[in-house]
Amino acid sequence: MRNYHIAAAVALALGGTAATQAAHAAAATPAQCAAPAASLYVAGSSAAQPSFATALGNDLFDANGETTISATGGNGNFKAYCGFAKAGNGAGVATGAVVTVFYRAEGGSVVGALPIASNHTIKQLDLTQAGCAVAGPVVNGTSATVGTTDGWTGCVSEHAVELGVTDIEPTQFVGPNYPSAYSTSVFGSATKSQFAALAGRPLFQQVFGLFVNTSGINSGASGQAIDLTKQTAAAILEGSYTDWSSVPTASGGAVSNVSVPITLVNREAGSGTRTGTTIYFLGTNCNTPAATLSDPGPDGYATGDVLATAAATPGAITYASIDNNGKQAALSMATLDGITPTNLAATSGEYGWWFEATYQKGTITSPGGTGIYNFLTGGELQNLATAPHAVDINVISNVGTNSATVPVTASTVGGKTIYINPFTRSGNSCSIPAETN
């Protein structure tokens, strides 16, 4: 690995060699991605990951496109995005030079904050090992078995997190939302003051929702509509309701006319999605006293895990970012007080379950990594003109060059609508959203 870094640094310093600056007629190969002139190691939120891929593909890589390398195994949460740098890119990378951004979503927000705060390295995808410079490098292990010990094997090696991403500001990962199941010898430990020292800054907003397996409800199949009040949803999360026949709908009456047990499928403590859920519904780390999340276990250590578990369990309920809607045919996304969770509903003030993803800077040692970091966090991921086009992502007003007015400001970029939210939590997820103008 050391020789590879030295070679890549020399290539970058020379502004790219003939090998890196030559005209390319196709996308970068895995072998080229394994020896980039510039690279960055990112870890954190799975909800934010697609936005990074979109931003890189649109604005850093040239017309040859983006090569996405997704590990076989490891829940597909170890990825690399690679391409040839376009002319005039904002990362300071020579035109035609190979750029690889590694993104580990395994562990979610935990790995976007804890390893940086504790100064620990964690496993990242490694394409330099024998047999790993392929389209589907093998990573062995599952979140349930090695997620808390980082015991992944195969095409991985230890590396510092150079850019961390969390669904929520890191200071919220304390108390019942501290990642207590994660090995301290591997991930380290951190206090609230250490998390606060990360000085996380907002990237964009993410919208979340509840997902229900309605099989058996009303003696029917999956795909039924579910409408709950926020208060009723909170009571379900507290464990006050154990059967859908006892749960009232938002308009009155019972959700089910027959008995169907409720199975609550949680993410693990430290998950940004779980943290935001407990803040929004239960007031965790915000209200005194706060309600307590029912945690019957076992918890899931990845979004895909909890969705799959809920999809296989009639009557189950779980939570995830709304871009997961439709990924499991057995799950229906619930409406809250009659409002369907959408980007537009969040920006119009009708739907309040959204939080502001933040980024944290780690120690950057990869050749060209600082330039890529500055490119991504210096406006690329925040600004309306270059905003990532994802179902769950909204732009924050007064961040970068964005400004919003009421009614909601929207723009079409790349054929997709991007909304600017005129409301913000201003870096405090406990706060009531306030207008920025």
| Amino acid 58: pLDDT | 87
Residues 79 and 49 sit within 8 Å (Cβ to Cβ): yes
- Quote the CA–CA distance of 139 and 220 in Å, as a whole number: 40
| pLDDT for residue 7 | 40
Q: Domain range holding 298?
A: 206-354
* CA dihedral sign, ordered 43, 45, 49, 55: negative
Tokens read off for 226: 């579910």
Residues 241 and 364 in one domain: no
Shared domain check, 305 and 215: yes
pLDDT of residue 388: 65
Answer whether residue 414 is part of any domain.
no
Give the Cβ contact number of residue 129 at 10 Å: 14
Residues 8 and 96 in one domain: yes
CA–CA distances in Å: residue 341 to residues 88, 322, 409:
38, 7, 18
Q: What is the model's pLDDT at position 420?
A: 85
Q: Are residues 349 and 274 in the same domain?
A: yes
**In-domain check, residue 119:** yes
Co-location of 226 and 181 in the same domain: no
Classify 182 as helix, strand or coil: coil
CA distance 109 to 287: 22
Nearby residues of 426 by Cβ (< 8 Å), 6 or more positions away: 434
Q: Does 231 share its domain with 132?
A: no
Q: What is the mean pLDDT of each run of 10 residues along the chain (437 residues)?
A: 40 41 76 98 92 90 96 92 96 97 96 97 98 97 94 98 96 96 96 91 93 97 96 98 98 96 97 97 94 95 94 97 95 97 92 95 97 93 73 82 69 76 89 81
Same structural domain for residues 183 and 250?
A: no
pLDDT for res 51: 87
State residue 412's pLDDT score.
Answer: 72
Residue partners of 328: CB distance under 8 A and separation at least 6: 211, 307, 308, 310, 311
Residues 270 and 174 in one domain: no
Last residue of a domain, one of 320, 336, 354: 354
Is 418 within the bounds of a domain?
no
Tell me the C-alpha distance between 420 and 134, whole Å: 39
The answer to the question of residue 411 being in a domain is no
Contact between 235 and 292 under an 8 Å Cβ cutoff? The reply is no
Instruction: For residues 377 and 112, give the distance between their C-alpha atoms in angstroms, rounded to a whole number.
Output: 14
Asked whether residue 181 is assigned to any structural domain, the reply reads yes
> How many angstroms separate the CA atoms of 227 and 243, rounded?
16
**Residue 35, pLDDT score:** 97
Residue 403 domain flag: no
Judge if 18 and 142 occupy the same domain. yes
Domain count, the chain: 2
> Going by C-beta distance under 8 Å and a sequence separation of 6 or more, which residues neighbour residue 20?
11, 37, 94, 96, 97, 98
- CA dihedral sign of residues 145, 77, 206, 180: positive
Question: What is the pTM (predicted TM-score) of this model?
Answer: 0.90
Last residue of a domain, one of 354, 383, 416: 354
Residue 263 and residue 371 share a domain: no
Q: Is the peptide bond before 176 cis (omega within 30 degrees of 0)?
A: no
Same domain, 143 and 125: yes
**What CATH code is carried by the domain that includes residue 328?**
3.40.190.10
